[in-house]
């Protein structure tokens, strides 16, 4: 009798655990796919004030020229192609001095601002980790094959990583598809759905005439890819 009672309790406990697991799985599966855009990949942070905001467009250019000239070292100072820029920088410094503008203070704040901008470009939004998301972008294959590829970079604009410098790491997603996808253009506009992982890494992008090491902030295990026009 006791053994029968024990078995009955065990069976009941087993079914309770199974039901809880099923409810948990069903709830998790029922979670809606979150539609995001590129702005969502950047963590929410207070804005940083550009120290050059109070200057005119010409003055901004002058400050950047002065900053460039002061950054030159060694043989770079003697290069013929740099001479005109160095002369211009001296003229701009005199102009700021006559206007009562402290170039040294501006440059200190400007350099600190650039450092902060560069640091923020490496930050990732950890709230996206493990979420099933849907987002638009341009698929850039890491390598080309006639029968398609599974590994791509998802980038926010045409030309990224090849024709122009790569975007910040938090604006590049490494995509691994569950099946091969064939692209006909170098940059293919798509909607992609999959599980997002906040997984910084580096990938090699191969060109016709070489390769480049690309810093990546996200990994997307993609399950569905459709043309951007299809939505």
Instruction: Scan for tokens 């998790």, then name that residue.
Output: 28
**What are the CA-CA distances from residue 202 to residues 99, 109, 157 (Å)?**
47, 31, 19
Q: Domains along the chain? A: 57-120 (no CATH), 126-227 (2.40.50.870)
The per-residue DSSP string of 200-212 comes to: -EEEEEE-SS-EE
What pLDDT sits at residue 210? 67
What pLDDT sits at residue 136? 95
What pLDDT sits at residue 9? 45
Q: Read off the pLDDT of residues 79-114 as tens digits, 9 standing for 90 and up.
A: 999 999 999 999 999 999 999 999 999 999 999 999
Which residues does residue 69 pair with via DSSP β-bridges, in sequence order? none
Q: Read off the pLDDT of residues 161-178 as tens digits, 9 standing for 90 and up.
A: 877 788 999 999 999 998
Q: Which residues of the chain have pLDDT under 70?
A: 1-31, 207-210, 230-231
């Amino acid at each position: 009798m006791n053994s029968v009672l024990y078995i009955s309790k065990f069976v009941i406990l087993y079914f309770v655990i199974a039901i809880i697991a099923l409810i948990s799985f069903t709830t998790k599966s029922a979670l809606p796919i979150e539609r995001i855009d590129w702005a969502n990949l950047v963590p929410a942070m207070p804005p940083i004030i550009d120290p050059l905001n109070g200057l005119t467009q010409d003055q901004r250019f002058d400050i950047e020229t002065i900053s460039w000239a002061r950054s030159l070292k060694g043989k770079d100072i003697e290069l013929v192609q740099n001479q005109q820029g160095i002369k211009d920088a001296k003229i701009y410094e005199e102009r700021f001095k006559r206007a009562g503008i402290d170039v040294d203070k501006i440059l200190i704040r400007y350099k600190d601002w650039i450092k902060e901008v560069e640091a923020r470009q490496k930050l990732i939004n950890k709230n996206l980790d493990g979420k099933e998301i849907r987002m638009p972008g341009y698929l850039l294959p890491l390598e080309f094959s006639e029968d398609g590829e599974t590994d791509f970079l998802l980038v926010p604009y045409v030309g990224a990583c090849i024709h122009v410098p790569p975007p910040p790491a938090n604006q590049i997603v490494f995509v691994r598809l569950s099946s091969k996808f064939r692209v006909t253009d170098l940059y293919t506009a798509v909607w992609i759905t999959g599980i997002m992982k906040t997984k910084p890494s580096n990938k090699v992008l191969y060109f016709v005439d070489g390769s480049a090491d690309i810093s990546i902030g996200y990994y997307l295990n993609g399950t569905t890819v459709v043309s951007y026009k299809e939505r």
